[in-house]
A and B are shown apart, each in its own frame.
Chain A
Amino acid sequence: MKLTRRDALAALSAAGVAVGGGVVADRVVDDETLDAELLEAGEDEPTLDESARETLVAVADVVYPTGLEGVAAFVETYTEGRLLADESRRASVATTLSELDEVSREWESTGFAALGPGDRDGLLRELAVDTADPDPEGLLPGRLRYYVVNDLLYALYASPTGGELAGTPNPIGHPGGYRTQLSPEYQRASPAETRDPTAERRDSVRGDASDETETDTSSETTTADGGGDSG
């Protein structure tokens, strides 16, 4: 499966970034318009230097599933848009990637991007980035999780292609339209007036609620505090 420019723009939109003259991901635009807006968005100098960009793509190669095409272009387009809009984040990302590269040089005697895929994965896990809580102001593992790994995962899985990989064409965060899920051919149970109600079955459901019913309260709930609706 291939990541496209549209995926990168969708991810930027999900990350709250307006590209060019505005957010494009929830508009139907042709590729020419996309190109023009991308050009406009990227007319400044690259936000990260070449080494940092290489390190970032090398991390993406680890945290993204194998067999995905277009990773480098996707990551660079997304990152460009994301960091262009946020100067302080740009500095933090650059510092974090530089520190990762430094650790790699100390431990593996070469930069992170030059490591083989297995070694990159191993180094990140050795740093406990896989289990670290994201922390923008913490130690290197927490910052790597916050600024690098989670941002890459966010970009992928809030994009249409990433969503499709996981099983949905409209992942949360992507404005893919409500009809991806809602379709007129689907049916509701028909209203009572239009059919013959199965009284016996109905009675079984409409039974006396005063009978105590055991409920499994040990499993997950969809909402905090067992509540939730709010309007």
Chain B
Amino acid sequence: MVDRSPEPRADVCVVGAGPAGAIVAARLAEAGHDVVVLEGGPRFDDESRREKLDSHLRPGEENPWGMGGERDAYTTDGDRDYPLNAARVKGVGGSTLHWQGMVMRLHERDFEMATRHGVGTDWPIDYDDLRPYYAAAERELGVAGADDNPYAPPREEPFPLPAFPPSRSDSVFAEACESLGLDMHSVPNARNSEGTDEAPACVGYGTCQPVCPSGAKYTAERHVRTAEAAGARVIDRAPVQRLEHDESGDRLTHATYATPDGETHTQSARQFVVACGGVETPRLLLLSRSETYPDGLANSSGAVGRYFCDHLFAGAGGTYDRQTDQNHVGFNTSECHQFYDDDDPVVGTKLEFLNYAGPSPVTTALNADTWGDDLLAGLQRDYGTHLAMGALVEQLPQRENRIELDPSRTDDHGNPVPQIHWSLDDRTRAGLRRANEIQTAVLSELGVTPEWTVGPADTGPAYHHMGTTRMGTDPDASVVDPDLRTHDLDNCWLVGSGAFPTGGAMNPTLTIAALAVRAADRLAAEL
């Protein structure tokens, strides 16, 4: 039987074993501190990854990571639905179990949107502050990349692993991009292009999202293993129900967590790190309200749960008159960041050249209403000539986009579920239109008529939950300080994408990791 009793002595209690929590736990444990990690979800068996691949490919199978039940219930109340459970995972490794693994640095301007463009807000730190931590984060995640992106912010050292080479469809897109004056460059990927001591090289299962059976894609389980090897204790299936503070309201004293046997325990520690993602972190703070903090823990500013933002997807695709070799791998190898820093529209836009456009033979076969020679003829006809581009578009923070508690619905422990209020603004729509224009121009240059587009009318989120515990120097307008410590409580640190004052249009996990490394250094100084 697994022992889920509290650790008698802990310097640090980390809530959440995703990338932010795992990196903090690993660094502090390696520095000799006593660390306990409370993770709400289970520990997933490595050997089950191929079974998850199988169930992912077959029609009608459930979420491979068990998301979507009463535990994960939520409601939405905005002008747009938000599919919260589509890509997040509760478990040891967090959403990196499911993620795509693209890891770019934010641009310098992302830290200064108010100063430079009069929109959003400035970060209380700038790119130079974070730059060494980006380098550290790239080492932590074993990023494969190349210094071939003329639009990327300055960097000081090579990527840890060589970039994946361009794909056949990249070379097709290159023809059009050359004609149109668009620059292509490699994609920094958190997956091994070569074998290392920590992970094997990618073998091309093609199912990066939602599961990498080989282990070549980084998941935060790597840092959990490091943390445990250094003496940290990780307790799974231990969802934290509340955080409790002392009489003064200045310090957290313990976390109350539930275990599968129906018991409730309390874990005390000198320092607490909450790293549950951009939705569950503010939810836990709101659930932990007290007489001292009637609007939620660490919420004197009223900003907890506010400014929820994401990246929006734009895309276009069609069929080409030559082979494009799609769906050999499940990740992208080329992007274009040429338009990212433009000011009209002001929102950042990142263009992607997809390597997984159109159907794959096996999934088409399993859903077909025929077989034999008919099926094969259909597969041969439908596979291999698709081309598609994607894009991520920035959403600037708006106070009314927020995570609240919904008292009308409760989870499996009787706690109000998160309610998501989410809407789009005109700037984001303009960015989506712009992305569609570029995508359509590239496809047209190749003689490809776009057969589908995803734009302002039917866009959806990239499931990058940001902004809900924003970082700042003003305690009246932000939740955490530049070190990610809450303004209200001395020993409470909120690590993750909730701290982003603005989100740019780059996939957030490298920035999460960089902030986690930085916060761990700051926290260590307190111990």
Give chain A's interface residues, CB within 8 Å of chain B. Answer: 13-18, 23, 26, 62-66, 121, 130-131, 133-135, 149-150, 153-154, 156-158, 162-163, 165-184, 186-193, 195, 197-199, 201-202, 204-213, 215-217, 219-231
13 extra interface residue pairs, beta carbon distance < 8 Å, beyond A134-B59, A222-B452, A227-B312: A14-B57, A64-B372, A153-B371, A162-B362, A167-B361, A171-B360, A178-B193, A178-B204, A181-B355, A192-B183, A198-B181, A201-B180, A229-B463
Assembly CA distance A178 to B356 (angstroms): 13
Q: Do the beta carbons of B461 and A181 come within 8 Å of each other?
A: no
Residues 54-73 of chain B, each 1 if its beta carbon lies under 8 Å from chain A, else 0: 10011110000000000000
Contacts of A156 in B (CB 8 A): 365
B53, B59, B206, B363: the one contacting A133 at CB < 8 Å is B59
Contact among B179, B203, B460 for A26, CB-based, below 8 A: B203
- Report 22 cross-chain contacts, Cβ distance below 8 Å, ordered by A residue: A16-B50, A130-B369, A130-B370, A134-B366, A178-B203, A178-B329, A180-B204, A181-B204, A183-B167, A186-B171, A189-B182, A193-B150, A202-B182, A213-B436, A220-B451, A221-B452, A223-B315, A226-B460, A228-B87, A229-B507, A230-B100, A231-B508
Distance (whole angstroms) from the CB of B486 to the closest CB of chain A: 26
Once the chains bind, are B206 and A172 in contact (CB under 8 Å)? yes
Minimum C-beta distance from A151 to chain B (A): 9
| Choice from A169, A177, A189, A223 contacting B178 with Cβ under 8 Å | A189
Interchain CB contact under 8 A, A173 and B165: no
Task: Say yes or no: A227 contacts B462, CB within 8 Å.
Answer: yes
- 8 Å CB contacts to A: which residues of B209-228? 209, 213-214
Nearest CB of B to A30, in Å: 18
SS class, residues of chain A in contact with chain B: loop
A133 CB contacts on chain B under 8 angstroms: 59-60
Q: What is the CA–CA distance of A180 and B437 in the complex, to the nearest angstrom?
A: 32
Give the distance in Å from the alpha carbon of A90 to the alpha carbon of B231 in the complex: 43
A231 B371 Cβ-Cβ under 8 A: no
Stretch of B264-272, B378-386, B475-483 that contacts chain A: B378-386
Q: A225 contacts B83, CB within 8 Å?
A: yes
CA distance A131 to B52 in the complex (A): 25
> Across the interface, do A172 and B441 meet the contact criterion of CB distance under 8 Å?
no
Task: Decide: A225 and B86 in contact? CB cutoff 8 A.
Answer: yes
Instruction: Give the distance to chain A from B458, nearest Cβ to Cβ, in Å.
Output: 4
Q: A178-B164, A213-B436, A231-B99 are in contact. Are A226 and B51 (CB under 8 A)?
A: no
Contact B95 A230 (CB under 8 A): yes
- Smallest CB–CB gap between B445 and chain A, Å? 9
Q: Is the CB of A167 within 8 A of B460?
A: no
In the complex, which residues of chain B have a beta carbon less than 8 angstroms from the beta carbon of A150?
58-59, 366
Q: Mark B84-100, 1 if CB is under 8 A from A, else 0.
A: 00110000000110111
Across-interface contacts of B362 in A (CB, < 8 A): 153-154, 157-158, 162, 171-173
A175 touches B328 (CB 8 A): no
Q: Which residue of A lies closest to B325 (CB)?
A: A181
Q: A154-B57, A220-B451 are in contact. Are A16 and B101 (CB under 8 A)?
A: no
Decide if A180 touches B430 in the complex (CB within 8 Å).
no
B: contact size bracket: 35 or more
The yes or no answer to B431 lying at the interface (CB within 8 A) is yes
A207 to chain B, nearest CB (A): 7
B459 interfacial contact with A, CB 8 Å: yes
Closest A residue by C-beta to B374: A65
- The complex places the Cα of A59 from the Cα of B362 at a distance, in Å, of 18
Measured CB to CB, the residues of B under 8 A from A are 47-54, 57-60, 81, 83, 86-87, 95-96, 98-102, 148-150, 164-168, 170-171, 173-174, 177-186, 193, 201-207, 209, 213-214, 311-313, 315-317, 323, 325, 327-330, 333-334, 338-339, 342, 344-345, 354-357, 360-363, 365-366, 369-373, 375-376, 379-380, 383-384, 388, 390, 392, 430-431, 433-434, 436-438, 440-442, 450-464, 507-509
5 closest cross-chain pairs (CB), A and B: A227-B460, A231-B99, A209-B434, A202-B181, A181-B328
Q: Is A168 within 8 A of B87, CB to CB?
A: no
Give every chain B residue within 8 A of A181 (Cβ-Cβ). 167-168, 204, 325, 328-329, 355
- Known contacts A170-B328, A171-B361; A14/B453 CB under 8 A: no
B178:A190 contact, CB within 8 angstroms: yes
A217-B360 in contact given A16-B48, A180-B204, A227-B313 (Cβ < 8 Å)? no
- Of all chain A residues, which has the CB nearest B210? A230
Contact present for A187 and B166 (CB under 8 Å): yes
A223 to B507, CA, bound (A): 17
Asked if B54 and A16 sit within 8 Å, CB to CB, the answer is yes
Q: Please tell me which one of the listed residues B57, B376, B458 contacts residue A166 in the complex, with CB atoms under 8 A apart.
A: B376
Is B165's CB under 8 angstroms from A184's CB?
yes
Closest to A229 in B: B462
Q: Which residues of A contact B178 (CB under 8 A)?
A: 189-190, 195
A229–B390 CB distance below 8 A: yes
- Assuming the contacts A157-B361, A215-B457, asked whether A168 and B325 have C-beta atoms less than 8 A apart, the reply is yes
* CB neighbours of A26 from chain B (8 A): 203, 214
- Taking CB atoms, residues of chain B closer than 8 Å to A198 are 179-181
A173 near B57 with CB under 8 A, answer yes
Question: Which of A149, A171, A179, A212 has the most chain B CB atoms inside 10 A of its CB?
Answer: A171
Residues on the B chain within 8 Å of A158, using CB: 57, 362
B372 touches A62 (CB 8 A): yes
